[in-house]
Amino acid sequence: MEQLLNDAERIRSLEIQGATNVALRAIDFLSDYAKRLKCENIDKCFESLYNARDILIETRPTEPAMKNGLKFIMKKLEEDKENLYAEYISDFIEKYKNQYYDMIQISKKRIAEIGARRIPATSKKYTVMTHCHSSLVAAILLEAKKQGKNFKVINTETQPRLQGRKTAKKLLDAGIEVTQVIDSAMRWAVRHFQVDLILIGADSITSEGTIINKIGSRLLALVAHEEHVPFYVASPLLKYNPETNLGILEIIEMREPKEIWENPPEGIEILNPAFETVSRRYIDGLITEAGIFASSHVPNYFAKIYPEMV
């Protein structure tokens, strides 16, 4: 259990970043925990695994891709429970972990192909703006570069943890022209660089088509609306939270104040919301493995492609 708690802390502390990476590492951690588990019987195994699942889920409240992956594995185990033996349960978890891993990788590849088509092949350099770090957005831009598209990227530094630098480095390594701006310069950058397209990722999607992403995302969406710039969100359907269909609200994670100010003066209150919502009315299209459509259609596509998770 000590090792699992250490692994969970790596997610909580943001050592592991990006919703997709968090999902993949969380199911790895559950699989590794199962291999170390010594149980008297199958019921004890399930009790320990559910406890481990909850510990991992609690590390990041706004990560449906992780929740869906962990729940997918446990649901598969429940279906096979009558045929399971405690000493072989880790083998089954490994099998289901690999199935979920394949789902994510296939969806990511498909989204990169679909998203890259939104960047036209023109002689004039096209300008794309993004916010924070999204492995999916990076995959789309890398695919567009591979196709020989002529474009440059404006990205934000993303306070307070500066995740935007990860995006910048990844794109620069691929030979993509990148300009980074401070978060509060979003509106100025859209006007100054005459941005053609804004593309961000998502950490969660609700049943109403609202997306939840890094703080600052709604500001960028409002800028896009004001300046008439197309605003797209790239996300696998696996980031849809089916619980929101039953009235459960997504939680906006509040992180440590020390991320903003290490030694603040006494008496000051520091708030550090990590995410915010973007209404469906500001989203021109959601780029998913099922294609590009209005974000409000997510529940239908999710049920169609991943019926076992509904």
- Reference 74, options 40, 47, 103; nearest CA is 47
Percentages (nearest 5) of helix, strand, coil residues in the chain = 55, 15, 30
Q: Name the active-site residue from 7, 32, 45, 132.
A: 132
Residue entry with tokens 């790895």: 28
Other residues' Cβ atoms within 10 Å of the Cβ of residue 161: 19
- Reference 236, options 133, 84, 100, 108; nearest CA is 108
- Alpha-carbon dihedral sign for residues 202, 205, 209, 211: negative
Number of H helices, E strands in the chain: 10, 10
Nearest-angstrom CA–CA distance, 9 and 172: 30
Residue 132 annotated to the active site: yes
187 CB-contact burial (10 Å; exposed 0-12 / middle 13-18 / buried 19+): middle
What the block records as the tokens of 289 is 């493995």
Helix (H, G, I), strand (E, B) or coil at 153: strand
DSSP per position, 38-50? --SSHHHHHHHHH
Q: Name the active-site residue from 32, 183, 196, 203.
A: 203
Residue 203 annotated to the active site: yes
Q: Which residues does the annotation mark as catalytic? A: 132, 203
